[in-house]
Amino acid sequence: MKSNVTPPSPFRPAVSPRLDPDFQPLALWARTCSRAGPHDAGRTLAIAVEREQGRISRFDTCLPPDWPDALAARYAERLVKFMLWSRGGWRVYVAGPDTLTAQLAGHYTPNGARGFDVDIMQRIYEQTFAFEVVAPEDIPDPSGTSVKLGGHLEGCRIGFDLGASDFKLAAVKDGEPVFSTEIPWDPKNQADPDYHYRLIQDGLKQAAAHLPRVDAIGGSSAGVVVNNRIMVASLFRSVPPERFDEARTIFLRLQKEWQVPLEVINDGEVTALAGALSLGKTGMLGMAMGSSEAVGFLTPDGLLPGWLDELAFAPVDFNPAAPPDEWSGDRGVGALYFSQQAVNKLAPAAGITFAPDLPLPERLNVVQDRMAAGDEQAAAIYETIGTYLGYTLPWYAQFYPLQHVLVLGRVLSGPGGTLLLDTAQTVLRKEFPEWVDRISVNLPDEQSRRVGQAVAAASLPALA
């Protein structure tokens, strides 16, 4: 994890991650941009992304005039990448310096450095990806709609949350969970969609056995879900293209089988909803650290804005030598900082080794057992992830008008979760005191850390 890249002193974190001294938090670069004025019109940058039905999200900044062109171009590319994965879109508009925008346009082509991103966005939005360099006056203004989902507690409901190593289930009666469980599975290595359908169906039946009847089913899933259809998901990466429609329609088939209202959305959105339900707050960023990172956002008005929120693929570390993500191949993206993958990445630096064939969930169990026993090496892992979090929340706040954060997921279980959160708060106090009173960071209780998303998902459908 060592690199020869040493950032300029203004970008060295005041709190260095114990196990990752080369971490370069993008929040520090964003802060420098926020202090740059519009005195150099040639260094202004505007980015807009267009998603379904012509909805537009936009981000404007001013790049410091003393940044070398190569550095400015690399930072601008990270901004475009973040906008794509936070908002989603099949078309990008960029206005800025000519040398910079030409490089960006070259990256975002099917054969460019961001070919993975181009391919995924085309699959999600079922449109040919487009990257347009335009004049500043031609950057479109933001537009879009938000929707109200969830919070329906009446009746007998089942909620589920599909992750990469297990899926969680809850039976809920009039807002009170009467049963919850976690069922191990191995979805990403299964080519047969019937494997996924059968296990989910069996889990629903198990939860239903604890209810007098089933009035509604709500779910969350890793990946991108649109109108109960799976557009893209790492859970189904082994399903061959000729059978992907069978995977895409799993939730539609389940709804037909159960004959009750059924609603499934992105797992990050359900995390935000879980935060709103448990804390009674809006302006909520929900962040689940499980097999990957799942994020969702509930506006200050208590609405879901319809953004993509797939921050597992969004950059948080500016270090060009950061480890690459196994699926996208990009470096410094959230999945390797806020998930079981982060624990696995940091373990060697902490002096913790595993059997080569030990799955990630069981590696996490080893670290958590050592943490519970007071092991200092395990504590170093949690402190490092906590440092990542403390530097990443102000970066996320550049793009989300967040006021509250709920952090949950398997990684947060046990005393490590508390240490992680305490470390993040230390970073905020020391490096970003202006954010201490503006961002409230919360952990749910131990049970909710593991199955809270399933309970919140159960509240998604309105009863007919």
pLDDT at 188: 86
CA–CA dist 30, 263 (Å, integer): 37
Domains, the chain: 18-138 (no CATH), 156-265 (3.30.420.40), 270-456 (3.30.420.40)
Say what the pLDDT of residue 409 is: 84
Closest among 42, 9, 47 to 28, alpha carbons compared:
9
Beta bridge partners of 408: 288
Helix (H/G/I), strand (E/B), else coil: 218: strand
Q: Which amino acid is at 431?
A: E
- Which pLDDT belongs to residue 2? 42
* 242 Cβ neighbours under 8 A, 6+ residues apart: none
Q: For residues 289 and 73, what is the distance between their CA atoms, to the nearest angstrom? A: 31
DSSP 61: E
Tell me how far CA of residue 158 lies from CA of 256, 308, 441, 448, in angstroms.
Answer: 16, 25, 28, 16
425: how many CB neighbours lie within 10 A of its CB? 16
**Number of neighbouring beta carbons within 10 Å of residue 192:** 14
Amino acid occupying residue 459: S
Q: What angle do CA 253, 257, 262 make, to 5 degrees?
A: 70
One digit per residue, the tens of pLDDT, for the chain of length 464 reads 444 444 455 678 999 999 999 999 999 999 988 876 655 555 899 999 999 999 999 999 999 988 999 999 999 999 999 999 999 999 999 999 998 999 999 999 999 999 999 999 999 999 999 999 999 999 999 998 888 878 898 999 999 989 888 889 999 999 889 999 999 999 989 999 999 999 999 999 999 999 999 999 999 888 888 889 999 888 898 999 999 999 999 999 999 999 999 999 988 888 888 888 878 889 999 998 988 999 999 999 988 898 999 999 999 999 999 999 998 999 999 999 999 999 999 999 999 999 999 999 999 999 999 999 999 999 999 999 999 999 999 999 999 999 999 998 889 999 999 999 999 999 999 999 999 989 999 887 654 554 467 888 999 999 97
Q: CA-CA distance, 267 to 248, in Å (whole number)?
A: 16
pLDDT value at residue 364: 97
CA-nearest of 149, 190, 363 to 272 is 149
Number of Cα atoms under 13 Å in the Cβ half of residue 230:
28
Q: Are strands 91-95 and 44-50 parallel, antiparallel or unpaired?
A: antiparallel
Q: Which residues pair with 216 in a beta bridge?
A: 157
What is the amino acid identity at position 150?
Answer: G
